[in-house]
Amino acid sequence: MSLTPEQRAEIAAQREAATPTLRTTSPGMEARLYTAHDVLDHGLIRVIDYMGDDAAICQAARVSYGRGTKAVSDDRGLIRYLMRHWHSTPFEMCEIKVHVKLPVFVARQWIRHRTANVNEYSARYSILDREFYIPAPDQLAAQSVVNNQGRGQLLEGAEAARVLDLLREDAMRAYDHYEDMLTPDADTGKLGLARELARMNLPANIYTQWYWKIDLHNLFHFLRLRADVHAQYEIRVYAQVLCEIVKDWVPQAYEAFEDYRLGAVSVSSKAKEVLKRRLAGEAVTQETSGMSKGEWREFVEEWG
C-alpha cells in the first residue's frame, strides 16, 4: 500500500478545504488535485499544484489581455497548429507539481530529465521506510534476445520463485543491516552510524519520494520518451498515469500531443524517398534503400 490511512485522511481534509480563486482552474485537474494514484507495489503520483489550462496556452500564443479564449473550436485549432509546428513556448505557460513515490532505479532514469525542478526526500535527515519494489510475476522476464535494452520471455516456475525469494531476502537483509547500523545502544556504547552513511547498503529497489515540477512542454517531452513502449515498464507505468492526469487537465493540448507526438512517427529523408518509391510501385530492398540494416529493420517494423 502506498499511503497510510492517516495520510489518506489528510488528503481528504485538504480536498475539503476549498478556497475561491480568481485564477484559471481546470475542472478535470481540480477533480484530481491531491488525490494519490497508486503505481507499482508501493509507489504513487499525486498532483500538488498546477497552473494554466488549454485557454492559457492560447492566451499566451495570442498575447491576450483577458482570458484569451475565443470559441473552443478556435482554441483547439490553434493548439493543434502550435503542436504541429513545434511552436512550443505557449505550452511552457502551464505548469504542474507532483508528489511521486518511486523505486530508486526508476528515479535514476527519471532524474535525467533536466528541465524540471526536484526536491527529494532526504535520507541524510530522515530514515527510509522498509519499502522495496518487488516485480509482479508478469513482469519477471528474461533478457531480450533482440533488444539489449529490453525484456523477453517470462520466467516461470522454480526460477521465477527463486528470483522473487532472492529479491525479498536481499531487501530485508539489507534493511535489517541498515537499521542495525543506525541504532545506538547506550548499554554497549554503540554510537550508531550517521543516516547519510548507513543508507549506502540499501538496494536500488528501495522507494524514494520527491516533489517534481515541470512545464507542459517539457512534460510532453518526458511523456513521449517514457510512455513509449521502448521505455522500461517500471517508469512507463508512472508516465501512463501522468498521461491520464494531463488528459484531464488540458484535454485539447493532450489530444494534439497524442496525435502529433505520442502516436506519430518521424520519417528520415531516406525513408521518405523509399515510401515515395514504394507508392510508385517499386519493390525497394534494404540494399537499394540506402539505409543500414538497423534502420531498415525499424522501417519495416513501422511500415511493413
Ligand X SMILES: Cc1cc2nc3c(=O)[nH]c(=O)nc-3n(C[C@H](O)[C@H](O)[C@H](O)COP(=O)(O)OP(=O)(O)OC[C@H]3O[C@@H](n4cnc5c(N)ncnc54)[C@H](O)[C@@H]3O)c2cc1C
Binding site for ligand X (CB under 6 A): 112-115, 149, 218, 221, 225, 230-231
- 128 vs 219 by CB, closer to ligand X: 219
- 23 vs 112 by CB, closer to ligand X: 112
| 221 carries a ligand binding annotation | yes
| DSSP letter string, 115-127 | SSEEEEPPTTTSP
- 76 vs 221 by CB, closer to ligand X: 221
| 14 carries a ligand binding annotation | no
Sheet with strand 43-51: strands edge to edge: 36-39, 43-51, 95-103, 207-215, 117-120
Q: Is 277 a catalytic residue?
A: no
* Residue closest to ligand X, measured at CB: 114
- 86 vs 125 by CB, closer to ligand X: 86
> For 135, what's the count of Cα atoms within 13 Å in the CB-facing half-sphere?
22
Distance in Å, CB of 266 to ligand X, minimum: 14
| 82 carries a ligand binding annotation | no
**What element of type H or E holds 252?**
helix 251-257
Q: C-alpha grid cell for residue 117?
A: 525542478
| 296 carries a ligand binding annotation | no
Distance in Å, CB of 49 to ligand X, minimum: 20
Active-site pick, 62, 168, 195, 226 = 226
Distance in Å, CB of 304 to ligand X, minimum: 24
Which of 110, 109, 124 minimizes the C-alpha distance to 199? 124
| 79 carries a ligand binding annotation | no
Do 59 and 69 touch, CB atoms closer than 8 A? yes
Residue 290 makes CB contacts below 8 A (sequence gap 6+) with 270, 273
Distance in Å, CB of 220 to ligand X, minimum: 11
Do 179 and 58 touch, CB atoms closer than 8 A? no
| End-to-end CA gap in the chain | 44
Positions marked catalytic: 226
Could you list the residues known to form a binding site, using ranges. 89, 109-114, 120-124, 199, 215-217, 221, 226
Could you list the residues known to form a binding site for FAD, using ranges. 89, 112-114, 120, 215-217, 221
Could you list the residues known to form a binding site for dUMP, using ranges. 109-112, 120-124, 199, 226
